[in-house]
């Protein structure tokens, strides 16, 4: 038990108290930018504020599914354009490495070509 002033303060009460640190984090510009980024990319409320890297999106579509989704959209002619779109969606190079296989690239190429000509 922690004694704070005259009244004893239990651990449960201490954990329920809002801290100034959390309030400051919620009010910070970095958190507001993270919220805007999640609205812009459409990944819901899944952004965490990181000290080192800015915004890190956690619960989002895996890169392979997102690549095929973009290829089906009909906006891209070739897979390298899809890759650029994924980079602008803040996917990391490690995640984009999943698209480097021959079979995956061939599937993306045919899907892009078919969808682009249909659109």
- What digits encode the pLDDT tens for the residues 50-85? 444 555 566 789 999 999 999 999 999 999 999 999
So what's the pLDDT on residue 27?
57
pLDDT at 93 over 90: yes
Cβ contacts of 38-43, under 8 Å, gap ≥ 24: 41/89, 41/90
pLDDT at residue 21, as a whole number? 56
Tell me the per-residue pLDDT of 7-54, one tens digit each, with 9 for 90 and over: 555 555 555 555 555 555 555 666 666 666 655 555 444 444 444 455
- Gap between the Cα atoms of 73 and 108, Å rounded: 12
**Is residue 110 pLDDT above 90, yes or no?**
yes
For 19, which DSSP code? P
Say if CB 91 and CB 82 are below 8 A apart: no
pLDDT of residue 30: 62
Residue 116 pLDDT greater than 60, yes or no: yes
Q: Facing residues of 55 across strands?
A: 49
The Cα 26–Cα 49 span in angstroms is 10
Tell me the C-alpha to C-alpha distance, in Å, between residue 44 and each of 8, 73, 119: 41, 20, 28
């Amino acid at each position: 038990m922690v004694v704070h002033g005259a009244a004893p303060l239990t651990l449960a009460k201490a954990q329920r108290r809002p801290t100034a640190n959390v309030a400051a984090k919620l009010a910070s510009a970095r958190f507001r930018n993270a919220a805007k980024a999640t609205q812009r990319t459409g990944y819901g409320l899944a952004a965490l504020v990181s000290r080192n890297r800015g915004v890190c999106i956690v619960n989002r579509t895996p890169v392979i599914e997102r690549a095929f989704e973009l290829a089906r959209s009909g906006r891209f002619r070739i897979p390298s354009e899809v890759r650029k779109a994924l980079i602008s969606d803040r996917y990391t190079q490690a995640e984009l490495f999943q698209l480097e296989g021959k079979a995956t690239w061939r599937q993306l190429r045919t899907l892009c070509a078919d969808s682009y000509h249909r659109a």
